[in-house]
Every structure is written in C-alpha cells, then in structure tokens.
Structure 1
Amino acid sequence: MTLREVTDGPAVVACNTCRFSADARDDAADVRGGARLVEALRAVQAEPGYDGVAVQEMPCLFACQDFCTVHLRAPGKVGYVLGRFEPSAEAARAILDYALLYAESDAGQVPYRSWPAGVKGHFITRTPPAGFIVE
C-alpha cells in the first residue's frame, strides 16, 4: 500500500472498485459500480456551486457488503461512510449536496431535517477526527 497526499479539505472519497449492486460486481459494460459513481460525482462536481468539496477516489474502502461507498471527511470534523448507492447522477447529487452542508458545519453534524432525501438510509459509520471523540 502506498499513500498519496491529497488536498486536506472537505472531500468525498469514493471507492472506485465497489460492486455495482448487491447482486452484480460490474455493469453491462463490465465496469465496476464504484467507477461509475466516481464518474457521476465528477460530472455533478463540474457544475457551478460544487467546487467547495473535492471528489477523490481510491480502491476499496473495505465496505464491500455496502456497495458503492463513499467516505465524507474534513479536518477537525466527524467523518462518515455512506453506501448502498446506485451509481447514478441522482445519488451523486445527493452525496454532494450533503457534502456541501457538511463542509459548512462546525463539527460535521448536519441537522437531519436538512439532509437530502437521497442520503437518508445510506449512513454506515461515523468516525471521530484525529485527537477527538464525540460526546
């Protein structure tokens, strides 16, 4: 394993090797679901208003049962792993809409009433930032 340094700001880190779905590894064109989700995230991020959150990718977030997973992170904020997404533009938009709210928050907590519908039910874990725990 080799680590590569990236920008240390709000980011959605997408698993580019995730399964396409619970039942299929690849789509009809033999492309992994994670790679498709990265494509969708980058397409949405290219639209105006989404430049406040980086889209980064890496192989395997070790959440294989929860296909199409992303890790939402920012310095000094609680991080989240979300999964079970369809690799679609709608899912990408919901993830990035939530990520913008997350980036604006003080510690990474976004009020539930503000969550885009497309992320509800997709949270897998939350992780404390280095040097902190949640009270």
Structure 2
Amino acid sequence: MLRAVETGAAVVVCSTCRLSSEQREDGEGRRGGALLAQALRAVQAGDSAYAGVEVQDMPCLFACQRHCTVHLRAPGKVGYVLGDFTPDEAAARAILDYAVRHAASEEGVVRYADWPQGVKGHFIVRTPPEGFICT
C-alpha cells in the first residue's frame, strides 16, 4: 500500500479527486486531481524556482467532501491540506508558490501576508510534524 518517495518538500496531489463539487471528471473522463497533478508538473517544468519541491500523487487523500485536494509537507514542518482548486495553471502556480515559501520557512509557517492570493480560502487542515504539536 505504501510506495517510497523522495523525502523533502513536496506537494502530494490526490489523483482521484473530483473535478469540482458538481462534476466527478471532465468530458474526456479525467479526474480533477489528475488534471491538477498534470498542471503542477507543467508549471514546475517551466520554472526552476520550483525545483526544490517534489510533485507527488497518490489516490485518495480522504478529503472526499472537497475536490482537487493537495497535502503540502516537508520534514520537521507543519503540513497543510488544501482543496477546492480548479485544476489549472493559475492554481498550480499558487500552490507551488506557497510550497516554496513553506519549504523555506523554519517550521512550515508562512506569514499570511506572504500567501499567494490563489491559496487563500483553500486551507482545510494543518498537521503537526512527527514528534511535535503546534502551540
């Protein structure tokens, strides 16, 4: 059930997420999560600023009440689950911009003033790193 991946800063995309709250997949049968993963990889490939963040995907993050969900994580840092994105370049860029700031932060906490507009309102859960709780 588990597959080893690179450790380090990562955006884990739910590859089976719905396209939207109303629609499971697009007209070609593609799920929103798969499209979001594709958009993230395309944006990452076009900009070396995102090289330090891995884009990983897995089926189902169990956030099924939401759509186009991702988990931002890095060793020793607070992690976040975000959702309700449109699987396009703008969302991918906002997610990666936040992921870069998250990776550069000491504990995974990015000042609200530094959040890209495209991630505001998309946070669902924050998760403490192993061995810690948030204060």
TM value normalised by structure 2: 0.98
After TM superposition, the structure 1 = structure 2 runs for residues 55-74 of structure 1, keeping only pairs within 5 Å, are 55-74=55-74
Match of residue 53 from structure 1: 53
Match of residue 18 from structure 1: 17
In the alignment of these two chains, the number of paired residues is 134
Which runs of 5 or more residues in structure 2 are unaligned? none
| AA partner of residue 22 (structure 1) | S
Taking the aligned partners of 1:27 and 1:65, their CA distance within structure 2 comes to 18
Taking the aligned partners of 2:40 and 2:21, their CA distance within structure 1 comes to 20
Deviations 1:40-63 (A, max 9, x none): 000011122110100000000000
SS of equivalent residue, structure 2 residue 118: helix
Q: Identity percentage over the alignment?
A: 65
What is the deviation of 1:28? Answer: 1.3
Taking the aligned partners of 1:37 and 1:96, their CA distance within structure 2 comes to 12
Deviating more after overlay: 87-96 vs 46-55 = 46-55
What is the deviation of 1:38? Answer: 0.4
| AA partner of residue 38 (structure 1) | A
Taking the aligned partners of 1:106 and 1:7, their CA distance within structure 2 comes to 20
SS of equivalent residue, structure 1 residue 81: strand
Match of residue 7 from structure 1: 6
Q: CA RMSD in A?
A: 0.5
SS of equivalent residue, structure 2 residue 98: helix
2:25 equivalent to 1:36? no
Taking the aligned partners of 1:132 and 1:79, their CA distance within structure 2 comes to 12
What is the deviation of 1:30? Answer: 1.0
What is the deviation of 1:110? Answer: 0.2
SS of equivalent residue, structure 1 residue 65: coil
TM value normalised by structure 1: 0.98
Deviating more after overlay: 70-79 vs 46-55 = 46-55
What is the deviation of 1:65? Answer: 1.2
